[in-house]
Amino acid sequence: MKKHEMPPMKKNETPPTGAPMKRPKPKIDFRALGRVLRMLREFYPVLLPVTVACIIFSAATSAIPALFIERVISSIETWIDTGDWASARTEIIPMVLILIGLYVVSIIAITLYNQLMVYMTQGFLHKMRCAMFDRMQNLPIKYFDTNKHGDIMSYYTNDIDTMRELISRSLPTLVQSSVTLLVIFCIMISFSVWMTLVLLVGVTVMLMASGRIGAGSSKYFIRQQRSVAANEAFVQEMMNGQKVVKVFCHEDACRKDFEVLNNNLREDSFRAHAYANILGPIINNIGHVLYALMAMVGGLLLAFEAPNLTITGIGIISISVIVPFLNMTRQFTGSINQVSQQFNTIAMGLAGAKRVFALMDVEPEADEGYVTLVNARRAEDGSIVETEEHTGLWAWKHPHGDGTLTYTPLEGDVRLNGVDFAYEEGKPVLHDVSVYAAPGQKVAFVGATGAGKTTITNLINRFYDIADGKIRYDGININKIKKSDLRRSLGIVLQETNLFSGTVMDNIRYGNLDATDEQCIEAARLAGAHDFISRLPKGYDTELANNGSNLSQGQRQLLAIARAAVADPPVMIMDEATSSIDTRTEAIVQRGMDRLMENRTVFVIAHRLSTVMDSDVIMVLDHGRIIERGTHEALIEAKGTYYQLYTGAFELE
């Protein structure tokens, strides 16, 4: 797609060097947490309750020892007062054995829930990545035109990693600490209401400090996550454009632009961790002060025996109460500290989940088509019937409202009638464009960049849908044809060749995954690529990486032609396939293209007019309108725009 034919890109552009970046104030969306929990329950309807039960049991077990300590100390006090060791022993030993048994079961529960959490977390992330990739595959081309690829990549790396921390660590810790707090609070109330009230005053101070500091920390952790995504997007963009950067000596400017983004990341990370690093010590010290205060209050109540403060039935202050109460105080404040330490991870995890869900909630590419492409053969009476075998004959299977089926031979007759199109409303790109390509015809589009040439081919592929007019393929409105079947019938060779990691054979077979090695080699011969492939170190088994960077532009283009050839489509689109290669290589590529175009309907977007002189019809576009059409000879004779382009009076650019 050409520069002026793309919709305006809506992305977070790098600000001018040294300019401050204005960013929206982040907010924690707890609806994402509900969605994560619902998905966990959906994915693991049995394991999730088992894991939660193990967490609750282990948390409750960690709080229960206070009851046993109180009973043991009481028994020891009775033994000291009465000297009856036998009676004390009958109470102490069973309690110690029960406590040991509970700890053993608790260890088993902790081990079990840790293993289950690892299994569920990795399984959840696996399902999420698969769901994200499936959704991404179904997104319209417009989404990738208007979003940075590096930012999309951060969904699979940075955001997924924050969700891993949320599910594997923060949520279990939150449940465990909450249960521990609840159990300890109930035991404290049963021991002493007054000491519990004093504790709650100190806890209120802890929660206020945690809330104020935690909110600031979470805000900057979310900003840090966004800054990481922006950095990743910029770095990927620079990696893809290193040749351009070096050619124009733009290294210093790129470095300054990166410094702006990197400074934002440093500032956000500094503030986030500065808040986080002071939260723990503050909560811990408040806990220490509270522990000392509770010891003092317990000592005073014990010293004065406080008969007027004792509430009958709630508990009488004694050593057997104060000792476990102080231990519970430390546990209580420790659990609050644990919860407060999870605020940042929860905030980042929810921010990551929100971004992931935003990707998954993007409307997929709409496809209302119901006409499909099927293998066919001709019956004895000459009619077309569907078959499962590959016969080389294809047909459009067209179901009708009355329940009947018709089969239309796939011939490659493409017609555009009065097509209007705009990437953005109010900014038309094509105006009343009509194109008629009969089977086997070669139709060429010429015109300046931004005239609408590539847009027409994008509409034939249904990468975008037209605003008005009709596009018919073998007499069928392409809106009725399933997009996957429509695109399977079209081959395309682009100016920018995309090769994938894998062997040369894999890249050719990409055009038809069912093709045999022999068919791939035959396609390479047709494209004129067999000779250079044979000279590669491992021939067709040579590994390619980095978009085939170890091949020349012409070799990469020949592989693209071979890939299109193995698909054997009836309609071919050649989008300036030879514009970026030298004249000698162009001759080689052109021979391959000529063989590929034989007996096919072909749309050619021309950069060099010499490549379209033999076209059946040449269409000259200007600002989205077809201003001339005809054969090369007819257009030369008319001495219009094409004549001026051909003679050099006008330039295509």
The DSSP string of 437-502 is: E-TT-EEEEE-STTSSHHHHHHHHTTSS--SEEEEEETTEEGGGB-HHHHHHTEEEE-SS----SE
Residue 562 lies in a domain: no
Tell which residue, 313, 297, 76, has the closest CA to residue 195.
297
Contact 248, 264 (CB under 8 A): no
User: Which residues touch 299 (CB under 8 Å, ≥6 apart)?
Assistant: 322
Is residue 604 within 8 A of residue 615, CB to CB? The reply is: yes
The contacts of residue 216 (CB under 8 Å, 6+ apart) are: 271, 275
What is the pLDDT, as a whole number, of residue 310? 43
Query: In this structure, is residue 502 part of a structural domain?
Result: no
Q: Per-residue pLDDT averaged across 167-175, rounded?
A: 90
For residue 12, is pLDDT > 50?
Answer: no
| Residues 217, 355 within the same domain | yes
Position 307 pLDDT exceeds 70 = no
Residue 314, pLDDT score: 40
| Separation of alpha carbons 46 and 41, rounded Å | 8
Of 252-266, 313-327, 498-512, the range with the highest mean pLDDT is: 498-512
Helix residue ranges, H only, 361-452: none
Looking at residue 586, its pLDDT comes to 65
Whether 97 and 182 share a structural domain: yes
At 626, the pLDDT band (50, 70, 90 cuts) reads very high
For the cut 80, the answer to whether the pLDDT of residue 444 exceeds it is yes
Q: Is 612 within the bounds of a domain?
A: yes
Q: Give how far Cα 192 sits from Cα of 180, 301, 594, Å.
A: 18, 11, 93
User: Domain end: 298, 329, 360, which one?
Assistant: 360
Q: How confident is the model at residue 28 (pLDDT cuts 50, 70, 90)?
A: low
Q: Please, which residues bridge with residue 619 across strands?
A: 445, 629
Task: Give the pLDDT score at 2.
Answer: 40
Averaged pLDDT of the chain: 80
More confident site: 623 or 91? 623
pLDDT for the residue 560: 87
Place of tokens 């011969």: 525
pLDDT at 317: 67
> What would the mean pLDDT of 515-543 be, rounded to a whole number?
89
404 belongs to a structural domain:
yes
Pair (307, 398) in one structural domain: no
Report the alpha-carbon distance of residue 511 to residue 494 in Å, rounded: 14
Residue 561 lies in a domain: no
**Considering only 266-280, 383-397, 596-610, which range has the smallest mean pLDDT?**
266-280
Query: For residue 603, what is the domain's CATH number?
Result: 3.40.50.300
Cα–Cα dist 469/456, whole Å: 13
Alpha-carbon separation of residue 616 from 454, 565, 574 (angstroms): 19, 21, 15
Q: Is 161 left (phi over 0), alpha (psi -120 to 50) or beta?
A: alpha
Confidence of residue 415 (pLDDT cuts 50, 70, 90): very high
Q: What is the pLDDT of residues 172-201, one digit of tens each?
A: 988 988 888 888 888 888 887 878 888 888
- Residue 542 sits at φ, ψ, to 5 deg, of -65, 130
Question: Taking a C-beta distance cutoff of 8 angstroms, is the pair 418, 434 a contact?
Answer: yes
497 close to 557: Cβ distance less than 8 angstroms = yes
Tokens matching residue 484: 């996957």
* 8 Å CB contact between 333 and 294: no
Are 179 and 224 within one domain?
Answer: yes
One domain, residues 147 and 254: yes
Tell me: do 445 and 395 sit in the same domain.
no
d(CA 68, CA 92): 9
Whose structure tokens read 């990551």? 352
Q: In this structure, are 79 and 221 located in the same domain?
A: yes
Give me the amino acid identity at 637: E
**pLDDT at residue 77, rounded to an integer:** 63
The helix (run of H) or strand (run of E) holding residue 278 is helix 251-304
Lowest mean pLDDT among 38-42, 63-67, 156-160, 576-580: 576-580
Based on the domain organization, do 97 and 219 belong to the same domain? yes
| Contact (CB, 8 A) for 351 and 26 | yes
Point out the domain boundary residue: 360, 390, 423.
360
Q: Is the pLDDT of residue 315 over 50?
A: no
Q: How confident is the model at residue 591 (pLDDT cuts 50, 70, 90)?
A: confident
Nearest to 27 by CA among 218, 265, 270: 218
Instruction: Specify the DSSP element, H or E, that contains 215.
Output: helix 193-240
Q: Which of 281, 158, 270 lies closest to 220 in space, CA to CA?
A: 270
pLDDT greater than 90 at residue 124: yes
In this structure, the answer to whether residues 272 and 399 fall within a common structural domain is no
Q: Residue 569: its pLDDT value, please? A: 84
Q: Mark whether 422 and 401 lie in a shared domain.
A: no
498 lies in some domain:
no
Is the pTM higher than 0.75? The answer reads: no
Are 313 and 393 within one domain?
A: no
Tokens describing residue 92 = 């102490």
Spell 170-187 as b/e; 16+ CB within 10 A means b: bbbbbbbbbbbbebbbeb
Question: Is the pLDDT confidence value at 290 over 90?
Answer: no
Q: Residue 597: give the domain boundaries.
A: 410-489+569-653
Alpha carbon distances (Å) from 114 to 107, 118, 167, 169, 647 = 11, 6, 12, 10, 77
Of residues 11 and 305, which shows the higher confidence score?
Answer: 305
pLDDT of 24: 46
pLDDT at 43 over 90: yes
Please state which of the ranges 44-58, 116-130, 149-163, 613-627 shows the lowest mean pLDDT: 149-163
Give residues with Cβ within 8 angstroms of 39, minimum separation 6.
124
Residue 11 confidence (pLDDT): 40
pLDDT at 456 over 80: yes
Structure tokens that stand for 243 in this block: 């040749």
User: Which DSSP category does 168 fall into?
Assistant: I
* Residue 563 near residue 507, CB atoms below 8 Å: yes
Question: For a pLDDT cut of 70, what percent of the chain falls above it?
Answer: 83
Q: Say yes or no to pLDDT of 304 above 70.
A: no
Helices in 317-425 by DSSP H: which ranges?
319-341, 343-360
* Whether residues 390 and 349 fall in one domain: no
CA 625 to chain centre: 38
Looking at the structure of the chain, the number of domains it has is: 3
Residue 347 included in any domain = yes
Q: What are phi and psi of 312, to 5 degrees?
A: -60, 135
Count of positions (residues) in the chain: 653
Residue for token digits 């000291």? 80
Rounded to an integer, the average pLDDT of 606-625 is 85
Task: Look at residue 202 in the predicted model and tell me its pLDDT.
Answer: 80
CATH number, residue 101:
1.20.1560.10
pLDDT in tens, 459-496: 998 988 888 999 999 999 999 999 989 988 888 887 77
Is 381 a residue whose pLDDT tops 70?
yes
- Taking each helix axis as running N to C, give the angle between helix 85-137 and helix 47-63, from 0 to 180 degrees, rounded to the nearest 10: 150
Residue pair 34/28 in contact (Cβ under 8 Å)? The answer is no
For residue 82, what is the enclosing H or E element? helix 65-82
Q: Which residues pair with 274 in a beta bridge?
A: none
Per-residue pLDDT band at 36 (split at 50, 70, 90): very high
pLDDT at 119 exceeding the cut of 90: yes
